[in-house]
Structure 1
């Protein structure tokens, strides 16, 4: 499995000791504000199993994120393939979910940049997308820092979220390989 390193973070395979802090962040009301519900410890463990299986099969995916200096597990960041059909699928999505204690340090952007670089570099992707609830301004800020732009004609009702849910409507952000390459030359 590929492991990614940034100045401050390690994006790595999941370990058994990641499960308890991951379950805690999946039950944190602030972390889960823009999701349909909190996850029970069993649901959180099942999610880790799905993520770890994908990583084992593909060598990339949603990596566990560790602060290099302390070894602290803070959540996940990486690339995934949505498990639903929509007008923009099949696709590869960049995503993240970090513990509230790690917010405000730029970790989501730093880890997502490494994930996007891996997607456009070794994986040879042509496009990476991101999906977000309109009220989730923090994640939209990360998307813009990555160079992603909102595809205003592509907003959609998430098919895995129940009708009537306040978090069913999603915005779609896109980043193409050429735009990413230009942004890399400018930085």
Structure 2
């Protein structure tokens, strides 16, 4: 099922054939630079199952992103439950991950803006959160471009002390017509 369409992208249900490019993206050191480590194939498979479980439980989640031109899987954008160990949980996060070869083309921003509109029109979510490591300026720029406001910086509890990715930045946005 296609949930959201933009001029260049389709945000859709996941397909089994997405697993190989999904795992490839998650083990790419460029893509995973701002995460503690790249994911193994097994970890990507478990992540894929968690994504599917969230769709079953909540009716929304991280949508597979496909370029219309060439019909290729390029990553995901959408909604994810904020981990309960964070001070601002429970809540819903808007997030994205795009394969390295498709960076700097505006896909994450285009998909995230479309997700905000979708959430406003179709979901019962009144506020969205987004966070990343302090050094991930590209992702922080996407947060700013889609109209999010910086709330604070915080030490992520799942990242070990003294790790270069420990410090995170938190953004939020209120949705005008959350159902």
Asked whether the two chains share a fold, i.e. TM above 0.5, the reply is yes
Higher percent of residues as helix: 1
User: Deviation string for 1:50-102 (max 9, x for gaps)?
Assistant: 10111133221001100012110001100111222322111111000110111
The SS at the match of 2:130 is: strand
Measured in 1, the distance between the counterparts of 2:63 and 2:14 equals 7
Contact 1:13 1:55 in 2 (8 A): no
| Alignment-derived partner of residue 10 in structure 2 | 10
Equivalent of residue 163 in structure 1, options 161, 164, 173: 161
Post-superposition shift, 1:2?
Answer: 6.3
SS in 1 for 2:95: strand
CA contact (8 A) 1:84 1:160 kept: no
Q: Is the 8 A contact 2:83 2:89 kept in 1?
A: no
Q: Which runs of 5+ in 2 are unaligned?
A: none
The number of residues matched between the two structures is: 178
CA contact (8 A) 1:84 1:159 kept: no
- Partners of 1:139 and 1:81 in 2: how far apart? 18
Q: Are residues 84 and 164 of structure 1, via their aligned partners in 2, closer, same or farther at CA, if it must alter by over 3 Å?
A: farther
Is residue 67 of structure 1 aligned with residue 75 of structure 2? no
Matches within 5 A, 1:19-168: 19-152=19-152, 155-168=153-166
Q: Distance in 2 between matches of 1:162 and 1:119?
A: 33
Whether the aligned pair in 1 keeps the contact of 2:62 and 2:78 (CA below 8 Å) is yes
Q: Are the equivalent residues in 2 in contact too, given 1:130–1:143 (CA < 8 A)?
A: yes
Q: Aligned partners of 1:160, 1:16: CA distance in 2, in Å?
A: 30
* Mapped partners of 2:57, 2:68: distance in 1: 26
Does the residue aligned with 1:54 lie in a helix, a strand or coil?
Answer: helix
Runs (4+) of structure 1 exceeding 4 A deviation are none
TM-score (norm 2): 0.93
What TM-score, normalized to structure 1?
A: 0.89
**Cα separation, 2, equivalents of 1:156 and 1:147:** 20
Unaligned runs of 5+ in 1: 182-187
- Contact 2:2 2:10 survives alignment (8 Å): no
Match of 1:184 in 2: none
How much has 1:125 moved relative to structure 2? 1.9
2: CA distance, partners of 1:125 / 1:132: 21
For 1:2 and 1:74, the matched residues in 2 are separated by: 15
In the other structure, the counterpart of 1:185 is none
